[in-house]
Amino acid sequence: MPSLSERNRSAVTPPKQPTTSAAGDPSSTSAISDLSEKPIEEVWRLYQETPTEAIRNFLMENYLPLVRYTAERMATRLPAEVEVEDLMSSGLFGLMDAIDAYDIERGVKFETYCTQRIRGAIFDELRAMDWVPRLVRSRTAKVERARKELEMEHGRTATDAEVGEKLAVDPDEYKKICRDARPVGVVSLNRKWFETDSSKDVREIDVVRDKRQENPVSRLQRDDLKLLLTKGLSRAERLIIVLYYYEEMTMKEIGITLDLSESRVSQMHSSILARLKAQMQHRSKEF
């Protein structure tokens, strides 16, 4: 068992400095600069013989524009909320797998082989992000193919009954397929709606309609109408109008609130309506 002095010396002993990684090694930097001066075929043969991380990183940087090109082409056929950078991140994994699996002796050009691996990696990520099962996607594709074939055959829009008959499914099953093919989608509220002449673009959140919010113009007109109707009325008469038409209370409930009988409230209500009708007819000449 070590003594107290030995433990104190071990406690104050400075830790060992971490070793420099290959990326920060000056020799690695010089090796990459040397690789850039060599033909790419020679770099591939060097990597086949000694697959080091430095050579692999050089190949990744050399073929990175191919990943961007493939991702940008695929993004044109995808919804706007799918970012090109996300596709590139997935395509990089395909590029790494292609570099590790590429065999220069087969005589196949790496760009041709690599493009398929990049596209496959992007498609795998898109399938993982998609919440609709692949079986539903397959059935939807069959419905669309059958619909297009019928339209080309008859020269008109195909009906649901004709599509279901061509697919040999009963009407209930066909309705289920169509219902599953229309899932609820997710849309980013920060997605650009349309471009403007100013520097600020109009986003989805700027034009989306909130149906739960009351129209301020309708609210203002309603308040003005309330003020016009209750103008010149006594306090009890105003309360009867407001409670009956705006609070939707019954005559009995209004009578309990105002300490009046139900018949008296009904009598006052009829008198108020007659006065308001005459008042509105008089004011209609002003409009």
- The whole-angstrom separation of Cα 205 and Cα 53 is 46
Q: 114: closest CA among 103, 105, 129?
A: 103
Confidence (pLDDT) at 108: 83
Give the per-residue pLDDT at 71. Answer: 92
* Topology classification of domain 26-129: Rna Polymerase Sigma Factor; Chain: A (1.10.1740)
How many helices (H) and strands (E) the chain has is answered by: 15, 2
Q: Is the pLDDT of residue 20 over 60?
A: no
Instruction: Judge if pTM exceeds 0.85.
Output: no
SS3 content of the chain, % helix, strand, coil (to 5): 70, 0, 30
Q: What percent of the chain has pLDDT over 70?
A: 79
pLDDT for residue 37 is more than 80: no
CATH superfamily label, 216-286: PhyR, sigma-like (SL) domain (1.20.140.160)
